[in-house]
Amino acid sequence: MKNDFKEDLMKIFEMINLGLINYFIGIELRQQKKEIFISQNKYIETLLKKFKMYDCKFVATPLMTNEKPRKDDEASKVDASQYRSLIGSLLHLTAIRSDIIYASSLLSKFMQWPSQIHYGVAKRILRYLQGTKEFDIWYKTMTNSRLRILSWASKKQATIAQSIAELEYVATTESTSQAIWLGRILEEMGEQQEGPIVIYYDNKSVISLYHRSRGNQGNPIRETKLEAVKEVSEVLPSTSGTL
């Protein structure tokens, strides 16, 4: 599949085969026979030098316990362009460093009028990265040839839910949409999936809500994307607690 995909790209775009990749948009890759390591060590070092934090002291966590930056704090303001540059760089790092996703996303709310407090919290993330810059993501060879895909996201929902069940129902539909999209991408690459996609869910209220929506019994969620998911999914009676 990999070679076919590469050949198809080379037919469309002007490309040169340089062999195994080792560096791409700030991401370092070390490929060995049975494992791959991915890191952003060099990118972090560049970031530390840019913001004059290369010799800073290491801290054990990205945020202090109960750290809650506010928009309306009374601290003096800082250069917004420099703050945005730092937060943008940290958000780029989250592609590999999931341990700073929450802290970086939290600070991204204050791009318009950042204060000294916000900037100080951002610098704490740099101090955390100073001591963890050599952390890698490790992928090892599996014993079987099954393809495994990981998709992860953290964001505010666009739909306002009226209950926890509706909230989790929306999350389930997002997962379903993503699974369908990934399945279609794999089909285009010649990878055929055997059997249906199974989404495991153990919330009985969500499954009940799903049944009611299928029967048009007054489900309060009426968005088009939710209705579209219902057309391609069903609750499997033989798999308890799954959707």
Contact 148, 199 (CB under 8 A): no
Do 51 and 120 lie in one domain? The reply is: yes
Do 67 and 151 lie in one domain? The reply is: no
Domain count of the fold of the chain: 2
- Tokens linked to 39: 């890191």
| Within a domain: 31 | no
Do 71 and 112 lie in one domain? The reply is: yes
- pLDDT for 214 equals 54
- pLDDT for 223 equals 53
| Within a domain: 34 | no
Contact 36, 30 (CB under 8 A): yes
- pLDDT for 236 equals 52
Do 198 and 226 lie in one domain? The reply is: yes
Domain boundary among 98, 132, 166: 132
| Within a domain: 170 | yes
- pLDDT for 119 equals 92
Rg (CA), the chain: 23
| Within a domain: 128 | yes
Domain boundary among 132, 156, 183: 132
| Closest-CA residue to 59 (of 28, 93, 103, 26) | 103
Do 125 and 191 lie in one domain? The reply is: no
d(CA 78, CA 115): 5
d(CA 211, CA 216): 9
| Within a domain: 28 | no
Q: Which residues make beta-bridge pairs with 137?
A: 38
- pLDDT for 242 equals 47
pLDDT in tens, 74-101: 778 888 999 999 999 999 998 888 899 9
- pLDDT for 71 equals 78
| Within a domain: 16 | no
- pLDDT for 222 equals 47
Do 122 and 150 lie in one domain? The reply is: no
Neighbour count for residue 202 (Cβ, 10 Å):
10
Residue 61 belongs to domain spanning: 41-132
Full-model pTM = 0.68
State which residues of the chain have pLDDT below 50.
217, 219, 222, 238-243
Do 104 and 154 lie in one domain? The reply is: no
- pLDDT for 196 equals 76
Do 195 and 238 lie in one domain? The reply is: yes
Q: In what order do the strands lie in the sheet with 27-31?
A: 23-24, 27-31, 35-39, 137-140
Do 172 and 243 lie in one domain? The reply is: yes
- pLDDT for 210 equals 67
Domain boundary among 132, 162, 196: 132
